[in-house]
Amino acid sequence: MPTLTSLTPTQSHNGITLTLTGTGLSGTTKVNFGTKSVTPATVSSTTVTVVIPVLCGGQISVSVTAGTTTSNSLAFYYINPPEPTALSANTGPATATSISVLGSGLLTATGVTFGSAGAGTALTVVSDSELTITCPAHGAFTAPTDTVNVTCTTAGGTSIPLGAPTQYTYYDVPTVTSLSPTSGAVGSSTTVTGTNLVDVSSVTFTPTGGGTAVEADFASFSATSLVATIPSGLATGTYDVQATTPGGQTAIVAGDVFTVTA
């Protein structure tokens, strides 16, 4: 009569090999996971191996059948695969940034991967439906942005990419290299030239040397240029023109200075 004494592992997910140890197992033809039966991969008198099928999450009774005889049952805990469904932020700079991953089956999370950017750090499991992670910093860009799939690994396996809700887009740092013209009256406009001027959220004029930044109306035309309108209320003088994107704010450089004339 077949008798089971142990299972290895005692908890896991589909696609993993389960080893059943016991006595009288040489005639095993089926491994039973509750009411679901699977053909074993290998059989000996003391050991049976089987690939765990897709099951419902929770505790399941596992037994073997040899001929017309079924062994005793041992408890196995099936862990559903993780299902991240959303990110607290889907865009961010090239630098490491902390975000939350929302979904289900996250309680046993051991890692979060951001596509080709690599593994995140500082993983904290908040609950089965939320965890926090610090995105890895992005390396060199070949375009102003790079969108990657965010996947989670738990004791239940690795999640399947869901698409846009669980994608993260890195933005390269924007720059301003020149203005044309470099001077003019309030209400006139200047063309701002630079790099990575994608999804610009604001353009500001700040007095050179420091002061209060004043937002300007603008229209974006490409990743390398936009047209800004000189804001009303600016006094005569020089100003640094800066643009902000999800990749950050442009650094102050000699080429971003605009002179407001009377």
Q: Locate tokens 């592992």: which residue?
A: 9
- Rounded CA gap, 41 and 4, in Å? 17
pTM: 0.84
- The domain in which residue 100 lies consists of 83-171
Residues 191 and 137 in one domain: no
Please give the pLDDT value at position 127. Answer: 97
Please give the pLDDT value at position 122. Answer: 98
Mean pLDDT for the stretch of residues 221-244: 97
Q: What is the CATH number of the domain that holds 216?
A: 2.70.50.70
Please give the pLDDT value at position 219. Answer: 96
Q: What's the burial of 73, exposed, middle or buried (CB within 10 Å: 0-12/13-18/19+)?
A: middle
Domain boundary, last residue among 147, 171, 195: 171
**β-strand partners of 193:** 178, 225
pLDDT confidence of 221, banded at 50, 70, 90?
confident
Residues 161 and 217 in one domain: no
Domain boundary, last residue among 124, 151, 171: 171
Percentage of the chain beyond pLDDT 70 is: 100
State the alpha helices, DSSP H only, in the chain: none
Number of domains in the chain: 3
Residues 46 and 21 in one domain: yes
Q: Are 117 and 123 in contact (CB under 8 A)?
A: no
pLDDT in tens, 157-167: 999 999 999 99
Residues 213 and 256 in one domain: yes
Tokens of 150: 């965010």
Q: Are 215 and 207 in contact (CB under 8 A)?
A: no
- Rounded CA gap, 85 and 150, in Å? 10
Domain boundary, last residue among 78, 101, 136: 78
Q: What is the CATH number of the domain that holds 20?
A: 2.60.40.10
**β-strand partners of 111:** 153
Q: What are phi and psi of 222, to 5 degrees?
A: -165, 180
List Cβ neighbours of 54 (8 Å cut-off, separation of 6 or more). Answer: 14
Give yes or no for residue 124 having a pLDDT over 90: yes
pLDDT confidence of 199, banded at 50, 70, 90?
very high
CB atoms within 10 A of CB 41: 13
End-to-end CA distance of the chain: 101
Mean pLDDT for the stretch of residues 221-237: 96
Tokens of 164: 């846009």
Q: Are 223 and 248 in contact (CB under 8 A)?
A: no
Please give the pLDDT value at position 57. Answer: 87
Average of per-residue pLDDT values in the chain = 96
Give yes or no for residue 150 having a pLDDT over 90: yes
pLDDT in tens, 54-111: 998 899 999 999 999 999 999 999 999 999 999 999 999 999 999 999 999 999 999 9
Q: Which of 156, 154, 159, 153 is nearest to 84 (CA)?
A: 159
pLDDT confidence of 128, banded at 50, 70, 90?
very high
Give yes or no for residue 262 having a pLDDT over 90: no
Residues 149 and 114 in one domain: yes
Residues 184 and 222 in one domain: yes
Please give the pLDDT value at position 10. Answer: 95
Give yes or no for residue 32 having a pLDDT over 90: yes
Q: Is the dihedral of CA 154, 160, 165, 169 positive or negative?
A: positive
Residues 94 and 122 in one domain: yes
Please give the pLDDT value at position 203. Answer: 98
Q: Locate tokens 């309108």: which residue?
A: 229
Residues 65 and 100 in one domain: no
Please give the pLDDT value at position 153. Answer: 96
Residues 10 and 64 in one domain: yes
- Rounded CA gap, 253 and 117, in Å? 30
Cis peptide before 82 (omega within 30 of 0): no
